[in-house]
């Protein structure tokens, strides 16, 4: 989580380290992705039994946790993804309605199957997906922005949205949009990690890792493969959290 993390070795203060039961890649998924999903939904999501929750990029590193945590709160979960294989993965972790946006238009599915809207959106894509999510909000719905990967590679770092229509859309529904950046919630990180590590160790939480075994050039091993791993992520090919294996069984996460 600190600058210089793409290294074979790094030194961190003991208070910033998290004890884990085993040195396996699964626990790396929790540091940023798991904690982001857990803290944001806990602090801002207002999850209750029966609520409808939409998770974008649901089969990705952080989406997988939002799906599972919302299900544990007894919500109905909808998740967007880019392939039938990812849809199958989402079903395996409890997603009630996976939507492969390359096979079904997300907006059409949401309007047809959820005419009353969704109560909470966990949004990490930005751009057109953000606009669809705003349109899908129910009365008093909440949209949590935890990222905008569609804009990360643009020169300005921006993900274009139809911001001009946003005030009236929110006003008509008494809905809200709120950003969540983990760095502003670090006081909650230790407790969140302790909770998530225990869940993972008990088998109560799937921590899906993608080490690039299905990529064209194979498994992500060594610092030189970091570039491939980043491109793999931007191409939306990963299922779960991407992990690059470094020498001496030291792992670095993306």
Separation between Cα atoms, residue 110 and residue 47, nearest integer Å: 19
DSSP secondary structure code for residue 3 in this structure: T
Assigned token pair, 62: 């952080």
Q: Is residue 11 part of a domain?
A: no
- How high is the pLDDT of residue 152? 85
pLDDT tens-digit series, residues 16-62? 788 999 989 999 999 999 999 999 999 999 999 999 999 999 999 99
Domain coverage including residue 148: 28-183
CA dihedral 148, 152, 158, 160 (to 10 degrees): -60
Separation between Cα atoms, residue 202 and residue 220, nearest integer Å: 28
With a cut of 70, say whether residue 248 has pLDDT above it: no
pLDDT tens-digit series, residues 168-221? 999 999 999 999 999 999 999 999 999 999 999 999 999 999 999 999 999 999
With a cut of 60, say whether residue 131 has pLDDT above it: yes
Q: Is residue 142 part of a domain?
A: yes
Q: Are residues 176 and 81 in the same domain?
A: yes
Backbone angles phi, psi at 118, to 5 degrees: -115, 150
Residue 71 belongs to a domain with what CATH number? Answer: 3.40.50.720
Q: Is residue 195 part of a domain?
A: no
Q: Is residue 12 part of a domain?
A: no
With a cut of 60, say whether residue 105 has pLDDT above it: yes
pTM: 0.93
- Inter-residue contact 174 to 152 (CB < 8 Å): no
Q: Are residues 53 and 107 in the same domain?
A: yes
The pLDDT mean for the chain works out to 93
- How high is the pLDDT of residue 212? 95
User: What SS3 class is residue 78?
Assistant: strand
pLDDT tens-digit series, residues 69-95? 999 999 999 999 999 999 999 999 999
Q: What is the mean pLDDT of residues 225-235?
A: 94
- How high is the pLDDT of residue 110? 98
- How high is the pLDDT of residue 238? 96
Separation between Cα atoms, residue 38 and residue 62, nearest integer Å: 10
């Amino acid at each position: 989580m600190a600058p210089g993390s793409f290294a074979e070795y790094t030194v961190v203060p003991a208070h910033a380290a998290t004890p884990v039961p085993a040195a396996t890649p699964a626990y790396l998924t929790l540091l940023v992705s798991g904690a982001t999903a857990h803290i944001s939904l806990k602090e801002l999501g207002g999850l209750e039994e029966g609520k409808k929750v939409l998770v974008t990029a649901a089969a990705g590193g952080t989406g997988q946790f939002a799906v599972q945590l919302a299900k544990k709160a007894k919500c109905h979960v909808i998740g967007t993804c880019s392939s039938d294989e990812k849809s199958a993965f989402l079903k395996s972790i409890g997603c009630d309605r996976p939507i492969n946006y390359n096979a079904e238009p997300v907006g059409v599915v949401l309007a047809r199957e959820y005419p009353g809207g969704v109560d909470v959106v966990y949004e990490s894509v930005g751009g057109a997906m953000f606009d669809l999510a705003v349109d899908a909000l129910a009365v008093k719905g909440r949209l949590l922005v935890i990222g905008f990967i569609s804009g990360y590679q643009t020169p300005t770092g921006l993900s274009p949205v139809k911001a001009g229509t946003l005030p009236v859309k929110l006003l008509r529904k008494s809905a809200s949009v709120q950003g969540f950046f983990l760095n502003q919630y670090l006081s909650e990180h230790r407790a969140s990690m302790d909770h998530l590590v225990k869940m993972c160790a008990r088998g109560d939480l799937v921590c899906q890792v993608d080490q690039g075994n299905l990529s064209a050039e194979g498994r992500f091993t060594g610092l030189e493969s970091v570039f491939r791993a980043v491109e793999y992520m931007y191409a939306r090919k990963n299922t779960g959290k991407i992990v690059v294996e470094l020498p001496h069984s030291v792992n670095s996460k993306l």
